[in-house]
Structure 1
Amino acid sequence: MTELAQNDAPADALPLGPESLVWKYFGDNRMYLIGPRPAVLQNMLAELGQGVLDHSVFFADTAARVKRSIPPIMMTVYGAEDSGEGTRVRDFHRDIKGDMPDGQRYSALNPDTYFWAHATFVEQVLYFADTFVKRLTDDEKERIYRESKTWYRRYGVSDRPMPADYAGFQRYWDRMMDQIVVAHPTARYGVGYVTKGFPRPKGVSPLAWRLVSPVFNPVAAFLTTGGMPPRARDLLELPWGPGRERAYQAFAAVWRSKPVNWVWDRLPMTVRYNTFAQVGYARG
């Protein structure tokens, strides 16, 4: 049964805002460097992948699904605390329920299912910052996690599955990756272009796509596959190897380097952050 949180965020969390690390990293445009990591990992939870398979336009129009999903999630983070963006996201999912192939029922608002979706975004922030910006300290990881607890509670869904601290989150994440996630067809579809090539986006002419795709497809495959945890790569049978891993780590090290960060930090806000983050920072 759906469990909805009734209380305000307790004192075990940290606030979101201009001084928070979640704000600093979640809307950073360098986030594209990790590829579709959170979306693919979300769909590797069988119940969540089945919900997308049964209810989403993901297969018919992937871009439309992404365009519809990202703004309310971003505004849950960067919107005003009393804006209700999080509960609107929750309410989008009320009717996403059905039967698994084995006959078990699923619901997007099951706390364990909902928290996994959130956990992939939290891990996205941690992975992105530590891989492409700077090596995070243990205190910074703890801070990001405690800020993410405030973020999660804005959805108004039970926080029963939410670990108390970052160490607990690490244990939760390792258990999910090692024992729970599967190569659900929805997740396989989401990374199919790694081997088959990316389909021509709507609005791009066939001629333009023939010119661009020979460069775009290998770059997209490199970022997507490199940006996945090794366990997910194995389950999804994504092609990788020691040479590609060395190239990926070298690529990430360049982005983490002081000269690149120095240049990035001096670019205009409109280049460094997406529009949702810009709105949040402008509001202060």
Structure 2
Amino acid sequence: MLWGLAGDVRALLMLPAALTMQVAHPAVGAGVDEHSVFRTDPWGRGERSLRSLQLWIYGGEAAATEGRRLRELHRTIQGTDAHGRRYHALSPAYYSWVHATGFPVYRHAARYLVCELTEAEERQLYAEWLQVGRILGIHDRDMPQTIEEFWPYYRKVLADELEATVVVRELVDVDQPVPPPDRGPRAVRAVLRALWPLLRPPLARFRRFMTIGLMPPDAREAIGLPWTDAQERRLRRFARVVRAVVPVLPERLRYLPLAREARRAERLRPGPRAR
């Protein structure tokens, strides 16, 4: 399930919703607020985060190495949240929540952008997401082991913990200053810098629209993010176009780089009779 979902370009539309749910936890939000470079280097941070996520799924032996690197990176991240409570990034409750958000977002967003998952597919997706948690160094005792255990845990976090933190408000603020992209060919970057005053406002509105729209409704409500019936209809129209267009794209446009490489290597791997 993850092999197909996580490397598809449609996953790029899903990730902001998961990130926003993560930082809606006061401890996670404080860690990002105080230690992340998302304000000064948003494009670089986004690129690094995306590559890391892709390695968990398509990296083979490199997945475990990446999981260890992330834990080492977070080892010194600690402080006090907005409620005066001490936090450490590797505290199981906080690290596990960051991981946990992926499953409900993939499940919900797939209904719009890919297809409705069957019960068997949901169970398979959850089992695979548990394996991602193990790659990240999360113990089984700190993750719900079945879907039946997951949903009460998830609803409890929504009810008891999540709020519109400072970072959440920044992520959905369409007036938040964001520098132009600093990745890609020099000529493209120059054009983007010149056009950025015109491009940034509609892109910011689109990001907010997709972030809130692809977030599970119960999480959206828990955080206090508004969503109207008119916006829901717009999202459904947009999703119909995406579902029609993406499956017919050539592979080089449909899949992200690490996913393309992994899919190519899998096709080239000799079968049992050829060994």
In the superposition, the TM-score normalised over structure 1's length comes to 0.80
Question: Match for residue 30 of structure 1?
Answer: 10
More deviation, 90-99/201-210: 201-210
- Contact kept? 1:111, 1:159, Cα under 8 Å: no
Q: CA deviation digits over 1:185-238, x for unaligned, max 9?
A: 111111112xx2663414455541244345434433322332233355456554
Question: Match for residue 219 of structure 1?
Answer: 206
- Contact kept? 2:109, 2:215, Cα under 8 Å: no
Question: Match for residue 180 of structure 2?
Answer: 201
Q: Name the CA distance, whole Å, in 2 between partners of 1:73 and 1:118.
A: 11
Q: CA deviation digits over 1:16-46, x for unaligned, max 9?
A: xxxxx11110111012333610111110011
Correspondence 1:242 to 2:223: no
Give the one of 101, 119, 123 matched to 1:142: 123
* 1:62 positional shift: 1.9
- Contact kept? 1:22, 1:125, Cα under 8 Å: no
Q: CA deviation digits over 1:244-280, x for unaligned, max 9?
A: 1222233324444xxx1xx643432211110121122
Give the one of 81, 86, 90 matched to 1:109: 90
Q: Name the CA distance, whole Å, in 2 between partners of 1:61 and 1:280.
A: 28
More deviation, 163-172/109-118: 163-172
Give the one of 133, 138, 142 matched to 1:157: 138
Give the one of 141, 147, 150 matched to 1:166: 147
Q: Name the CA distance, whole Å, in 2 between partners of 1:62 and 1:147.
A: 29
Letter of the structure 1 residue corresponding to residue 254 of structure 2: R
Question: Match for residue 228 of structure 1?
Answer: 215
SS of 1:106's equivalent in the other structure is: strand
Identity fraction in percent: 33
Structure 1 pair 218–183 and aligned structure 2 pair: CA distance change class (3 A): closer
Gaps of 5+ in 1: 1-20
* 1:164 positional shift: 1.6
Letter of the structure 1 residue corresponding to residue 180 of structure 2: P
Give the one of 147, 166, 188 matched to 1:185: 166
Superposed, 1:90-109 pairs within 5 Å as 90-109=71-90
Q: Name the CA distance, whole Å, in 2 between partners of 1:81 and 1:283.
A: 14
Q: Would you say how many aligned residue pairs link Structure 1 and Structure 2?
A: 257
Question: Match for residue 270 of structure 1?
Answer: 252
Question: Match for residue 118 of structure 1?
Answer: 99
Give the one of 4, 25, 28 matched to 1:48: 28
In the superposition, the TM-score normalised over structure 2's length comes to 0.83
Correspondence 1:70 to 2:50: yes
Question: Match for residue 110 of structure 2?
Answer: 129
| RMSD between aligned residues | 2.4
Letter of the structure 1 residue corresponding to residue 39 of structure 2: F
